[in-house]
Structure 1
């Protein structure tokens, strides 16, 4: 048995996979030697009941295989929000495990081509590509710069599934990632506005160009008048654009209501009792102390912000307490 480079021979004996032969020259001893079979098994119609089969598997790379998304993939872009994208490219595949490939894919097919499995592989690529794109978080505008890394990531994620079929994917290329036509048109408009820069200066330049073109018109006055009219109209549009901004008139902010006034802080006083200080007391507390006799006009009091100790009757806020004090009862 001669197995050439880029091949592998799978030996199936009596219906069971017996061995896999890599490139080289082999001497096989089987149960169906041609001459011996003819002499001993004439009663079987000269067909040996012991049969062996050899399947040759191409182990070279199958390149330039196409893949692509039939329908747009919805993903969330950090700048544009939910967007739909399409992608296509090529991939390379090879048989890494001939025995498993024969068992899982080929079966008893005497002639098997890569076209018979390419459709299934394309579905696997698209499914994994959709998952990788959705979880990558790469902005749409930056995907073109990361196609190589995305291709390697998708190929690595697919390798586990392909190993079950005895296949491997050495290379996967993403040739293009595109947006739907409506989104591309909106993006082109946004790019054009960004390239225009200052819309006022751009409008003035366009008006000057229109006037120059009108002056070159051989018809004379009519064309000149049209050019002047166009220039004036575009100049007015430029002034309006300068006043309202590139996206139209900016909404006027609603007037803000004044903040509520701060909550007043109640003033408190301290009393001097000989060498001791008592308090703090509120004005209501001092009113009760005035009634029970523990506060008099001569009592020295102090509050925050006050310049030293003063008599209670000398403080305007406390002097009112003494004016509303009832007179002493009769006979007192």
Structure 2
């Protein structure tokens, strides 16, 4: 007799739980009245029949079908269960956590840009978050046809729409095509909203979307970097520091390259400033000997930094001529 009872009883649980699985569907011919269901932390269990939800259990624990589940279903939905037969339902176990997924463009996206007739090729990468939101839609659109659903399935669907959405929101929010990172927050917010609408019908909700970085082709990135360096010319001290750092790093501190150009520019500017100063009628330098007649140069011929009569340049260590 005990053997017969065990044959009619079974344990319903999500045994092969995976962190990347959104839901798993248990289905059998019928749920026996002597069975029990185990709901683990981070899971919801949904009883449904013919696509119609009969009850949702959100508290983890161990439930007896006869004493816990059936009375609840009968009270909530008027669900009738014959004690002489099994209950014909399916049970969907849903992973309730928020999933975080990395994404990246497989091919460069050609963003329209006035400076480039063929468009500006851009790659991007980042992360997005989503979770199960609407169980009715989840069963209607996905679980009714699938026994399980993985994060990879959602990623494939989202990445398929990303190229068009990136193009849309970069064009709308990318005020500077060569510095898109400055507008990454606005671009991300727009894409998240559109992706949420894309998944809404499936019962999933996109809770976050981030663009971590934009990248350009090497030749365009080089021009962007060079352009940023040229803008420093407006701030002579800052430009000088960058130029000297680049020169020292490359071993080129005398002539040629950025450091050599910077030294030449500094020397020329110092000479020009001295000439202008000497031309002023009230200049204190007017009656003083010129720089060529002094014992030491008043600026370094290598880096252009002024000195106070030292034998060596305090900036680069160049020996000063007498």
TM-score (norm 1): 0.50
Q: How does 1:136-215 map to 2 (within 5 A)?
A: 136-195=173-232
Equivalent residue, structure 1, for 2:126: 89
Q: C-alpha distance in 2, partners of 1:112/1:80?
A: 43
1:170 to partner: Cα distance: 1.0
CA 1:57–1:84 in 2, change beyond 3 Å: closer, same or farther?
A: same
1:94 to partner: Cα distance: 0.3
CA contact (8 A) 1:8 1:98 kept: no
Equivalent residue, structure 1, for 2:88: 51
Equivalent residue, structure 2, for 1:16: 51
1:142 to partner: Cα distance: 3.9
Q: C-alpha distance in 2, partners of 1:19/1:136?
A: 46
**Structure 2 residues not aligned, in runs of 5+:** 1-36, 72-79, 269-322
1:2 to partner: Cα distance: 6.3
Equivalent residue, structure 2, for 1:28: 70
CA 1:20–1:122 in 2, change beyond 3 Å: closer, same or farther?
A: farther
Considering only CA atoms, is the larger Rg found in Structure 1 or Structure 2?
1
**Aligned equivalent of 1:67, options 103, 123, 132:** 103
Structure 1 residues 155-208: Cα deviation after superposition (integer angstroms, max 9, x where no partner): 11222111111111111111001111121122233334444678xx98xx99xx
CA contact (8 A) 2:127 2:210 kept: yes
CA 1:75–1:93 in 2, change beyond 3 Å: closer, same or farther?
A: same
1:5 to partner: Cα distance: 5.8
TM-score (norm 2): 0.51
Q: How many residues align?
A: 200
Q: C-alpha distance in 1, partners of 2:116/2:228?
A: 14
CA 1:137–1:89 in 2, change beyond 3 Å: closer, same or farther?
A: closer
Q: C-alpha distance in 1, partners of 2:82/2:148?
A: 23
1:59 to partner: Cα distance: 2.1
Structure 1 residues 27-55: Cα deviation after superposition (integer angstroms, max 9, x where no partner): 2266464xx23xxxxxxxxxx6x621111
1:120 to partner: Cα distance: 0.8
